[in-house]
């Protein structure tokens, strides 16, 4: 099995996570700026990790509907599908991933200064781990 790259696409930063080659564990690997040359940086990560799939977190509201942010992610998914025609692009519910990532970093006693740079890749890792666990029959 090839790896999976997961993206937590925000308006300021994009968290990136990758699965291990067996598809069991997720690890946050990068935070990209949401403006500027993030696609070129993503190109380098795609070349480095050779994933079979891009997994994008999509913010589904608690009532199950999709708001403007979800529509922005769907547009981004379409654009990435065109940019990487050999990769499957999948959307996965990212509900509360950023809040959970912030809480995990707080509990890990990560300083406020260091949290800002890490929360996005931790959120991407949570999104990916949730998808991996569901695929393997877990209860995440």
pLDDT band, residue 140 (cuts 50/70/90):
very low
Instruction: For the chain, list the domains and their CATH numbers.
Output: 4-135 (3.30.420.140)
Cβ–Cβ under 8 Å, residues 132 and 55: no
Report the DSSP beta bridge partners of residue 53: 4, 88
List, for residues 21-30, the tens digit of each pLDDT value.
999 999 999 9
Q: How many C-beta neighbours within 10 Å does residue 127 have? A: 28
Both tokens assigned to 128:
């990916």
Helices (H), 7-111: 38-49, 68-83, 97-107
Report the DSSP beta bridge partners of residue 90: 55
Kindly state the DSSP code that residue 38 receives in the 8-state scheme: H
List, for residues 78-116, the tens digit of each pLDDT value.
999 999 999 999 999 876 556 655 566 555 555 666 656
């Amino acid at each position: 099995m090839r790896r999976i790259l997961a993206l937590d696409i925000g308006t300021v930063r994009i968290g990136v996570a990758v699965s291990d080659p067996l598809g069991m564990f997720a690890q946050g690997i990068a935070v990209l700026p949401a403006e500027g040359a993030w696609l070129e940086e993503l190109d380098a990560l795609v070349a480095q990790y050779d994933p079979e799939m891009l997994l994008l977190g999509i913010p589904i509201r608690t009532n199950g509907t999709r708001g403007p942010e979800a529509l922005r992610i769907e547009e981004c998914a379409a654009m990435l599908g065109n940019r990487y025609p050999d990769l499957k692009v999948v959307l996965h519910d990212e509900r509360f991933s950023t809040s959970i990532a912030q809480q995990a970093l707080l509990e890990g006693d990560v300083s406020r200064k260091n949290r800002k740079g890490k929360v996005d890749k931790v959120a991407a890792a949570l999104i990916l781990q949730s998808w991996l666990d569901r695929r393997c029959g877990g209860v995440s």
